[in-house]
């Protein structure tokens, strides 16, 4: 038996000069009887409202496919106002009260701290903020503080000292790198256990944008700034496992292609083709604790803490031991069932979300908070096979290649080696496009890195961070 939905408020109002019946239903729909658009869903379409004299102006968004004649397009979101006039002062007051109560019941953020990275991708983050983000936040009556980043780790340092009680979330108008900085900054605070619960949002303005692509892809929405900031405004949240690490061919492509940054995301494809023609292979080994169902990968091994390096160069301690803040997951690595795969490799990639960039579904089975990392190993293969493999990255088809090992792991150790063809040259380790370590003979290897090109241990904390999400 269908449940009967009770109306919250129903009254006659003036719309476009005529008198019509208007109703706010118990399931959050605003309905009226006259005009081409006769209803709005408060949760999905209504951002906020303002009172203008005797009138109430509803700030909303509608599907661009319904507004093509007004500048919309398929998959886009169009801002649109709807104005109605209650017939008395008491009616106006009641409409404002009921609308506000219903919108507040969604738990939407009211105050946001926003990082804008003007140097990422095509260097248009500031324009994206002004054109796409700011107007929607203002429509939703959300207060915000904006901070442009000026250098690497700027966001991290700000977050470490930020008064989080003033904000309901932090938003990064950038690629994935600033998000990583924010997470690291939260985890280095003394109050990290509370700080890491602050919801985080991402608006695509970098080269890769893998995190927000993964979030919007959940509901089939395009990876656009307007869709991304609406996910923040609506206030839905989901947990996120931490961490992602990249190394090998894909890392080299990401970092070394910086010289072609003016090309935007196309630089990745351009440089990847160059690299396939001059293919690099790396020695090394990976050790891992497989998730259930993946125990047949690799050979049995044991865990050893010896020479596990720390991401902070000044500390010669295991990776999980920090001077303050977050101390790492509480897991007994010695008593887990470890396995090992030896190189040479073309690439080693760890992921905890499906998309590595807007056009690269690196880990099609990855989940945001399943407690596992998806490990992708590209083994030595012919150049044509590698070209075919990489051409399937946009749909995740590369994991079906016989030259790819794809599995889920609970813990991971990378022991990076040198190039098989040039023993005096090594590789690059990066995290979401930000360099962690540069080996000998690599691109800009004279620059200071966060850690050394050496043995690296990675563990995963299930659901440690919180993201604003479309669902």
* Comparison of pLDDT for 66 and 356, the residue scoring more: 356
Full-model pTM: 0.85
Average pLDDT of every residue of the chain: 83
Question: Is a pLDDT exceeding 70 seen at residue 67?
Answer: no
* Comparison of pLDDT for 246 and 59, the residue scoring more: 59
| Poorest-pLDDT segment among 195-199, 262-266, 443-447 | 262-266
* Comparison of pLDDT for 65 and 205, the residue scoring more: 205
What percent of the chain lies above the pLDDT cut of 90?
Answer: 55
Q: Please give the pLDDT value at position 19.
A: 93
Q: Please give the pLDDT value at position 347.
A: 83
Q: Please give the pLDDT value at position 270.
A: 34
Q: Please give the pLDDT value at position 424.
A: 81
Tell me the pLDDT band of 337, cut-offs 50, 70 and 90: very high
Question: Is a pLDDT exceeding 80 seen at residue 349?
Answer: yes
Q: Please give the pLDDT value at position 269.
A: 42
Q: Is 176 a catalytic residue?
A: yes
Q: Please give the pLDDT value at position 432.
A: 61
The single residue of 176, 252, 430, 461 carrying the catalytic annotation is: 176
CB 116 within 8 A of CB 154: no
Domains of the chain plus CATH, in order, are: 7-106 (2.30.29.30), 111-235 (3.40.50.10330), 249-307+331-462 (2.60.200.40)
Q: Please give the pLDDT value at position 207.
A: 80
Q: Cβ–Cβ contacts within 10 Å for residue 142, how many?
A: 20
Q: Please give the pLDDT value at position 305.
A: 65
Report pLDDT digits (tens) over 210-260.
999 999 999 999 999 999 999 999 999 999 998 744 334 333 434 333 333
- Mean pLDDT for 360-381 is 92
Question: Is a pLDDT exceeding 80 seen at residue 449?
Answer: no
- 324: exposed, middle or buried (Cβ count in 10 Å: 0-12, 13-18, 19+): exposed
């Amino acid at each position: 038996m269908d449940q009967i939905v009770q109306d919250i408020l129903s009254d006659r109002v003036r719309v476009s000069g005529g008198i019509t019946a208007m109703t706010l239903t118990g399931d959050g729909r605003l309905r009226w009887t006259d005009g081409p658009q006769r209803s709005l869903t408060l949760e999905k379409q209504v951002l906020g409202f303002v009172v203008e004299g005797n009138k109430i102006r509803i700030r909303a968004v509608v599907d661009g496919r319904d507004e093509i004649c007004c500048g919309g397009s398929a998959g886009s979101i169009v801002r649109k106002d709807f104005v109605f006039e209650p017939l008395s002062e008491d009616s106006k007051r009641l409409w404002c009260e009921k609308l506000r109560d219903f919108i507040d019941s969604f738990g939407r953020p009211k105050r946001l701290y926003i990082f804008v990275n003007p140097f990422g991708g095509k260097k248009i983050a500031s324009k994206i903020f002004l054109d796409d983000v700011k107007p929607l936040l203002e429509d939703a009556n959300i207060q915000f503080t904006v901070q442009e980043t000026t250098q690497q780790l700027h966001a991290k340092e700000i977050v470490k000292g930020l008064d989080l009680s003033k904000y309901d979330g932090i938003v990064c108008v950038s690629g994935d790198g600033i998000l990583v900085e924010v997470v690291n900054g939260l985890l280095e605070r003394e109050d990290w256990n509370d700080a890491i619960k602050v919801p985080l949002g991402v608006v695509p303005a970098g080269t890769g944008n893998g995190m927000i692509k993964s979030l919007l892809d959940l509901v089939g929405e395009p990876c656009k700034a307007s869709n991304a900031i609406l996910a923040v405004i609506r206030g839905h949240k989901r947990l996120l496992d931490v961490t992602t690490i990249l190394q090998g061919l894909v890392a080299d492509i990401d970092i070394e292609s910086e010289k072609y940054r003016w090309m935007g995301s196309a630089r990745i494809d351009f440089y990847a083709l160059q690299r396939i023609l001059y293919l690099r292979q790396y020695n090394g080994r990976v050790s891992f604790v497989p998730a259930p169902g993946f125990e047949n990968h690799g050979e049995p091994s044991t865990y050893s803490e010896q020479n596990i390096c720390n991401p902070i160069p000044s500390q010669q301690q295991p990776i999980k031991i920090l001077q303050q803040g977050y101390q790492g997951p509480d897991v007994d690595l010695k008593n887990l069932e470890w396995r090992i795969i030896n190189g040479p490799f073309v690439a080693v990639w760890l992921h905890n979300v499906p998309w590595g960039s807007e056009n690269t579904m690196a880990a099609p089975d990855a989940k945001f908070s399943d407690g596992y990392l998806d490990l992708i190993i590209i083994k030595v293969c012919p150049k044509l096979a590698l070209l075919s493999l990489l051409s399937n990255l946009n749909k995740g088809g590369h994991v079906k290649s016989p030259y790819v090992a794809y599995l889920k792991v609970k813990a991971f150790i990378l022991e990076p080696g040198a190039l098989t063809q040039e023993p005096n040259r090594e590789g690059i380790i990066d995290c979401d496009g930000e360099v962690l370590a540069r080996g000998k003979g690599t691109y800009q290897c004279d620059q200071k890195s966060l850690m050394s090109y050496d043995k690296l241990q990675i563990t995963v904390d299930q659901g440690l961070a919180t993201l604003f999400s479309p669902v």
